[in-house]
Amino acid sequence: MWRSACVTACAAISLPAVCLAQEAPANGLQKLMYYRSFLQDSQDCAVTVESGRPSFSEAVSGSAAATCPDAFAWVQFLEAIAGLNAGTAEPVPFWNWGVDQTVWMNEPLPLCTEANQTDCCDPNAQIDPSGPMPEHCPVFRGDYYDPGPLPAQPHGAPSGNTLSHSGLRLADEIDPGRLLRDMELEWVFRNKPFVDYTYRNDLYNKEGLGARNQAQNDALSSGDIARAHALEVRYPTDAVIVKVDLLHQDVMLATGLIQGEDADGNPVEPPNNPEFPYLTVDVQNPAEGSVNGLYYVLAMTNASKDLPIWHWYAIEHVANLGRCDYIGCNDSFGYAAGTESESGAVFGSTYIPPMTVLNNNLATQPDEPDPNSPLFVTGKVYLPEMTGESMTPELEALFDALDIGTAEADANPDVLAPQDPAWRNYRLKGTQTTFVTPTGIPTGTGATITEGGFVNSASCTSCHSQASVDETGNSGMQGVGSDWTPNLLGFDRIVMGAPSMAWFYSNGGPSVEATQVDFIWGILGAQCVEKVITEVGGKETVVPSCKSYPTSPTIISAE
């Protein structure tokens, strides 16, 4: 199967190239994938559904996130679709959870205190589900009958001019996910425990974030070490995040990811991938700058706080261009790859390697390519007919038991629904639960859309470990996970491996230069309750620092 794919790839590239025959030795790039293809799950990672909820075998139930990261990822994913991990009494599908715009709003009110009970946010206030959602306080959208429209402001407007961007044409061929990343609409959903902790700990505005850092340093300065530790940000273990990357229909059509008719010429309405449909949702938002219309789900990168550094995983649509490029696709639970791997190397059923091709420019004879000069073949599709992927009986049982993807067809393309069969067209790209392996290898994973342009160095844990704030409530790390070294295309690399102590502390005191906010980059959206506006060049500009900060952090417990 892979031999025919390799021949196709050879025909598609311009440099002189020779594909490996099935009996040829593994090339250098294939051997290096040893470091990307480690088996993730223990052999004891059995999952069943009991009383409507997934349950791990007794041998691993107490450590499923660490011992069975791939199986755990699929369970978390399906529970989010079914709404079982929303943190609410009744199931709430993830698309009705809080989003960044309802957790870190543009004009926040302060958290209520004993001294201030008016024009403030009270997390213990009674919620009227039939009423309007508050505009200036954190909101879990699932608490309301009408949660309002989702945001519709992609990173770039889906226009023909942007799609033919000459500066990205070369990059599009090498890493097609990059342009798509620049055009995506991103939704980040937070479940009820996440929203509640952010709200009650006053982490939804810059004053509250800055006060946390200032209070930590005051405690250290006075020698109250216990209080300095108590002020660390630690989300509850049932907090869950689902980040969804979508593209507008115009972009999908222009890039050829969807079609208006199938192979027999029959119309596809709305346009989609006839063989492997994408999930679709119609977004209509009256806010200024919105680009409304039908959007298609390409990828999801999700996390849950079942581990101190969170459990991370990436999900991609099976037909995404370059889905397994550079780092491969690793899944030891949900989908089994074919027993025949790419020509020259055997990876087994848990790993799909990136496509490679041999550069024969260094060959002494045309029919004797140098096996040490392999190159990546990028931007192609990794369809099941090539990879041999098939859903495992264990995953199929979970889908069926939770009634996900069980319908014959999508009943309404305008809304997301658990029964939509398109859910079964998404694949696990990989999981991440540590900074390094037990043998010291930096871990990493990334989706081709979410990390377009730098997927080969992407590391969820390392990047998000930098999420921190200084005494003003602004980011303690300006690079947002990026390294100073650009990759060959000129895009920033992302840090990999363990965090550096120097990112957070100064040892002269010691002092906390940046308070880690438990891996949550959503704090970049935090705004001041009382902004400082100055005039620069005749134009009003908002100063990064707020007017004032609380003398100590405000934390409100549940009644």
Whole-structure pTM value: 0.92
- Neighbouring residues of 528: CB distance < 8 A, sequence distance ≥ 6: 205, 206, 207, 473, 542, 545, 546, 547
CA distances from 191 to 99, 100, 125, 141 (A): 9, 11, 19, 9
Handedness of CA 399, 403, 404, 405 (dihedral sign): positive
Which pLDDT score, from 0 to 100, does residue 3 have? 38
Which pLDDT score, from 0 to 100, does residue 5 have? 40
Closest CA to 174 of 455, 430, 483: 455
pLDDT digits (tens, 9 = 90+) for 141-190: 999 999 999 999 998 665 555 455 444 556 667 888 888 898 899 999 99
Which pLDDT score, from 0 to 100, does residue 14 have? 34
Q: How far apart, in whole angstroms, are the C-alpha atoms of residue 535 and residue 542? A: 9
* Residue ranges of the chain with per-residue pLDDT less than 50: 1-22, 162, 165-167
Give the CA radius of gyration of the chain.
25
Q: Where are the domains of the chain?
A: 2-35+67-433+516-542
Q: CB atoms < 10 A from the CB of 370, how many?
A: 16
Which pLDDT score, from 0 to 100, does residue 383 have? 95
Which pLDDT score, from 0 to 100, does residue 185 have? 96
Which pLDDT score, from 0 to 100, does residue 190 have? 98
| DSSP assignment letter at 362 | G
Q: How far apart, in whole angstroms, are the C-alpha atoms of residue 46 and residue 123? A: 39
Which pLDDT score, from 0 to 100, does residue 1 have? 38
Instruction: Name beta bridge partners: 486.
Output: 492
CA distances from 170 to 155, 252, 485, 490 (A): 20, 19, 20, 12
